[in-house]
Structure 1
Amino acid sequence: MKSVTRRDVLRAGGALAAVTGAGVLGGQAYAAQGGREGALPFAHGVASGDPLPDGVLLWTRVTPTPESVPGSGVGPDVTVSWEMALDERFTEIVAGGAARTGPGRDHTVKIDVAGLHPATSYWYRFRYGSAVSTVGRTRTAPADGSAVDRLRLGVVSCANWQAGYFAAYRHLAQRDDLDLVVHLGDYLYEYGPGDDAAADAVLRPHDPPLEIITLEHYRRRHAQYKTDPDLQALHARVPFAVTWDDHESANNAWSGGAENHTEQEEGTWASRRAASQQAYAEWMPVRYEPGGRLYRRLTFGTLAELSMLDLRSYRSEQPAHPFDPGIADPDRTITGAEQLDWLTSGLATARVQWKLVGNSVMISPVRFPSTLSTEELRALSRLTGPVTGVPINVDQWDGYTADRLELFAALRDNGVRDTVFLTGDIHTCWAAELPSDPLTYPLNRASVGTELVCTSVTSDNIDDILGVPPRTASLALEAAIRVANPHIKHVELDSHGYSVVEVTPGAVRMDSFVLTDRKDPGSGVRRAASFRVDAGTQHVVRVWEDR
């Protein structure tokens, strides 16, 4: 964390914002900050999310005048109409209506459509005046209690605009077999230009050109990300289920603050968090409004349930160091008491086979080998959060062991089977078992579930941080991690890309796909590894790896 540079950028950016702030931007300046003037008024695409058996959420943003740019707080209140059909040509329109929007919600539009048929594909579009948006496609969930043969998910996290291009989204959009994209957090980053792990590889500078702390800033950053053509294409193709991690607000956020927030220079945390949450509610296709509850559950017949967690809003502050006895304090929490009760009771009473958990930080216990060099430990800490004095990551569930013990005990004591945590955050690919008793594993291989972790879309990982070619220095580091943590069946520390998770009655399978080059907008992709969790086993099996 380069705090001096970050503060310098913030102060310099404040002066720049006074000249180029969104409130005075016209169409030409908007195009310069990443917008496409010729695509107005629907320059930010369309999206859908949170599919139910009888409904889905639709989203867009309208720019009714050249001055009504994101974050500006100016422009008229307008009416945007929408329609939904059973075909791409809209010859069979089944729903439609109109919605008012204006500067109070940054001219974003969210429509919660009800009365739809389960397991059905729909096309939708928006109109403002004579302008028509891109046509989006979405799909409702299967009927409650229905038998489902397959559910296929795209799984992504950690997309840093500055660190590379979003080719991973393009490759997912080009598939035609996804039911849902699960975004596990760090959809955007709060940093200013050059003030993050990608400081030496800034390909696309952030807008606004400073660390974002106000509502105007967060709105502009969301808007910039949604001008990316690959992200727009994926949103228009597949419904999303999203949650936030820390960078949607600030690095290593907790309920009362963040590592990347200083009240003396940036105002109160409550104000900054409220701004980030309002912009998130406006700009993301999710059933969430400021002050509401982000954690929720989506059901797909009798095959699977997806519990999306919020691990930032209620958590206690991270321990200062791994020797802090507070790590095991039952009064400290990563979930908050209400969310943990909701999660454990939901898993214990679920009437589906597979219990999937959308989990923003790793739940598997991880001990970093004591043999690591100082440079290797420093590189790992850039990915995982604080690693101080001993090998443990206190920003993950490792820093909140009482909550993890309670959750694992609920799974074990209630005989819950087929629980799979889908995780992001750490910029690397992992597959692990969740030991019922980590101290006796692997002699006692009893496992309460499994965890599959996707790599980053673009955000830095080990080879980027160490400045070495991929699949060189990381190989020994990966081997050492596996030796120190026998429940971890796979770890790959170098690649960028996405995962595809297929759920069937017999197994959950994760295929990890990696980009050829995150700095190339036309990057190719290849399947790098595949892992399977067979029904009833609670164990991970490697089924394929590209060596």
Structure 2
Amino acid sequence: MHAPGHPGGHPGRRTVIAATATAASAALLPLAGGLPRAHAAQAPVFAHGVASGDPLPDGVLLWTRVTPAPDAVPGSGKGAPVETRWEVAEDADFRTVVASGTVTAEAAADHTVKADVRGLRPATPYYFRFTADGAHSPTGRTRTAPAEDASADRLRFGVASCSNYEGGWFSAYRHLAARSDLDAVLHLGDYIYEYGHAEYPMEGDVVRTVEPGHEIVSLADYRVRHGHYRTDPDLQALHAAHPVIAMWDDHEFANDAWSGGAENHTPGEGGEGDWAARVRAAKQAYFEWLPVRPSTQGTTYRRLRFGKLADLHLLDLRSFRDKQSSIGNGGEIDDPDRTLTGRAQLDWLKAGLSASEAKWRMVGTSVMISPVAFGSVPAHLLGPLAELLGIPKEGLAVNVDQWDGYTDDRRELLTHLRDNRIGNTVFLTGDIHMAWANDVPVKAATYPWDEPVATEFVVTSVTSDNLDDILRVAPDTVSTVAETAVRAANRHVKWVDMDSHGYGVLDLTAERAQMDYVVLSDKTDPNATAEVRRSYRSLSGTQRVERAEQPVR
């Protein structure tokens, strides 16, 4: 997602869970469901909390970082190896430990450690912790996935994306952490941002200061940025409360990244250097700091299964894509030789969707798959909207960073769903800093006469700027004109909210998939409240979204 708020849309290129009464309240008070008070005072060596992720029916991936000495901070390369013990228990007091082992925290991995635990029971909550030099980490809570042959009654996921540290407080994470009803949290990308201080947003809109203060390029830079994010008490609380299933988008690397470069990367002397080296650094830090299992290609595209109710196919739409086309070059965006997914990943996805016997097929796509034309938006809003989307202000047509810029890949995938009668496919999307509920047609021009082949729920940003932030106006004022125009010109778009910040809660049963869109009162307020703004659902077998009158209970 392109960073708005800069002339021409381009940013300037050079320029332990702790108790508080504000943003961190949920991090230390007992969470609903009984997570005990964190032991931050007893564990100075675990300054970045604990995490779990990628749940399986028999296991889960555990994570922490050990700080062996005061100067062994993230990215420093300092600090001796530390033997670290991990434990998984049925109870929060660790009276019934069911699995344990040791791993070594070393400078070569920035003193992060992971334990890929197996032998656990399906669909079961567990508690976990680490111990080093006699000090315990905070206690985390996690949950395994249902057994592959289990007919789970329901699944419930938190869904989030686009968390810019300088853009606001991570209150969305605090509210997700406080919930006891989630099986996992799905993070759809832009977990970190690569910009330096006051590049995005600019100085007048910065809520708090990120480290390091410069644009991150090297391995040490990416490690420092990840480490700084993980000192946020709300983010620590999220990771301690739920397993997180994460995938990356562009800002884990650089804005509008593609396989050979990025908008926010100038190679050579005077720029950011070698792109391949930057990508290696970013990927290494990502896998060090996130509770994610890398695929065999060292990417984040992978598949998780949740009994007979749902499969989750997670895409990597940065590592294999061709460079974004120029605006207005329709022949280029329709070129069958250009790809967003790469041949191997698209074949993998099609085969997985065909083979799936699950009731629901969820696809995590970091950029929006629904076709959207913006030309009907009033002229005075085209500039700000183009700035938000990262599109040149002249000739606004489509967002070429999304599937709209790679129409042949989209056509092949959606035709595959139609021709093979693959139903109940739900695309889950972030990136665009807006909330959407869409039917997904093979061709927008023939909708609704031709049946849609899937649905799409797009969640807004945790903090990253959206339209009212760019315009510096009150939410739900100026933007409503643009929202109305987009819906009128794109009949498959059932709802769009261009102003709110927050997250989603996806609830799956055999009968329907429902997304509750939760919005924050104010991203600049560390005590922000949250409420459900809208709910949309797709009834099984329909491939259509409709408004749900009540949020899930």
Cα distance in 2 for residues equivalent to 1:434 and 1:290: 31
Alignment-mate amino acid for residue 226 of structure 1? R
- The alpha carbon displacement at 1:543 in A equals 1.7
Q: How does 1:211-360 map to 2 (within 5 A)?
A: 211-264=215-268, 265-288=271-294, 292-360=298-366
Question: What is the correspondence of 1:21-100 to structure 2 with a 5 Å cutoff?
Answer: 40-100=44-104
1:506 is matched by which residue type in structure 2?
A: E
Corresponding residue SS for 1:426: coil
Relative to structure 1, the CA distance from residue 289 to residue 545 in structure 2 (aligned partners, 3 Å threshold; closer, same or farther) is: closer
Paired with 2:101 and 2:334, the residues of 1 have a C-alpha distance of 52
**CA, structure 1 residues 327+37, in 2 after alignment: closer, same or farther (shift >3 Å)?**
farther
Deviation of 1:545 after TM superposition, in Å, equals 8.5
Flag structure 2 segments of 5+ consecutive residues without an equivalent: 1-5, 16-39
Specify the alignment match of 2:508 in structure 1: 503
Identity fraction in percent: 54
Asked if residue 181 in structure 1 is aligned to residue 185 in structure 2, the reply is yes
**Is 1:513 paired with 2:505?**
no
Letter aligned with residue 124 of structure 1: F
**Do 1:136 and 1:236's aligned partners in 2 also have CA atoms closer than 8 Å?**
yes
Instruction: Report how far residue 437 of structure 1 moved.
Output: 2.7
User: Is structure 2 residue 454 aligned with structure 1 residue 459?
Assistant: no
Give, in angstroms, the shift of residue 383 of structure 1: 2.7
Find 1:366's aligned residue among 346, 352, 372.
372
Q: Quote the residue 2:539 is aligned against.
A: 534
Distance 1:198 1:299, change over 3 A: farther
Residue 110 of structure 1, aligned match among 104, 108, 114:
114
Q: Is the 8 A contact 1:162 1:198 kept in 2?
A: no
* Gap change, CA 1:132 and 1:110, over 3 Å in 2: same
2:404 equivalent to 1:391? no
Distance in 2, matches of 1:7 and 1:177, equals: 43
Q: Closer, same or farther in 2 for the Cα pair 1:545/1:151, shift >3 Å?
A: closer
Residues 114/4 of structure 1: CA separation in 2 closer, same or farther (3 Å cut): closer
- Is 2:299–2:319's contact at 8 Å kept on the other side of the alignment? no
CA gap 1:5/1:395 in 2 versus in 1, 3 angstroms: closer
Q: 1:371 to 1:301 in 2, by over 3 A?
A: closer
- 1:484 offset after TM fit, Å? 0.6
Does residue 1:148 correspond to 2:130, yes or no?
A: no
CA distance in 1, matches of 2:548, 2:133: 53
Instruction: Give the count of matched residue pairs.
Output: 518
SS of 2:388's partner is: helix
Q: Decide whether aligned partners of structure 1 residues 155 and 371 sit closer, same or farther in structure 2, where only a CA change above 3 A counts.
A: closer
Q: Which residue of 1 aligns with 2:419?
A: 413
Letter in 2 for 1:56: V
**Which runs of structure 2 are paired with 1:1-20 in the superposition (5 Å)?**
1=6, 6-9=12-15
Counterpart for residue 449 of structure 1: 454
Give 1:223's aligned amino acid.
G
Conserved 8 A contact 1:278-1:290: no
Aligned AA (1:355): R
Residue 390 to residue 147, structure 1, CA distance change in 2 (3 Å): same
Q: Note closer, same or farther for the CA distance 1:295–1:503 as it changes in structure 2 (3 Å cut).
A: same
Deviation at 1:101, TM superposition (A): 2.0
- Where 2:542 maps in the other structure, the secondary structure is coil
Q: C-alpha displacement at 1:193, in angstroms?
A: 0.9
Deviations 1:83-134 (A, max 9, x none): 1101111011010010012110000001100111111111000001121100
In structure 2, relative to structure 1, the CA distance for the partners of 1:423 and 1:198 (3 Å cut) is farther
Instruction: Give 1:371 deviation, angstroms.
Output: 4.5
Deviation at 1:75, TM superposition (A): 1.1
Correspondence for 2:35: none
1:370, 1:390 within 8 Å by CA — same for their partners in 2? no
Task: Tell me how far apart the structure 1 counterparts of residues 516 and 475 of structure 2 sit (CA, whole Å).
Answer: 20
Shift of 1:382: 2.8
Distance in 1 between residues matched to 2:158 and 2:285, nearest whole Å: 24
Q: Which piece of structure 1 moves more, 288-297 or 189-198?
A: 288-297
Could you tell me how far apart the structure 1 residues matched to 2:276 and 2:391 are?
23
Q: 1:332 to 1:193 in 2, by over 3 A?
A: same
Shift, 1:300, TM fit: 0.7
C-alpha contact 1:71 1:219 (8 A) present in aligned 2: yes
Q: How far has the Cα of 1:7 moved from its partner?
A: 3.0
DSSP-derived class of the 1:125 partner? strand
Q: Which of residues 527, 536, 549 is equivalent to 1:522?
A: 527
CA distance in 2, matches of 1:481, 1:307: 29
Query: TM-score with structure 1 length normalisation?
Result: 0.92
Q: CA, structure 1 residues 297+291, in 2 after alignment: closer, same or farther (shift >3 Å)?
A: closer
Match of 2:139 among 121, 132, 135: 135
Q: How far off its partner does 1:266 sit?
A: 1.1
- Structure 1 residues 238 and 522: CA distance shift in structure 2, 3 A: same
Separation of aligned partners in 1, 2:53 and 2:224:
21
Shift of 1:37: 9.8
What are structure 1's unaligned runs of at least 5 residues?
10-35
TM-score (structure 2 length as normaliser):
0.91
Alpha-carbon distance between aligned partners in 2 of 1:402 and 1:495, rounded to the nearest angstrom: 32
Give deviations 1:370-411, integer Å, cap 9, x for gaps.
4421x4222222332325514211000000000000000110
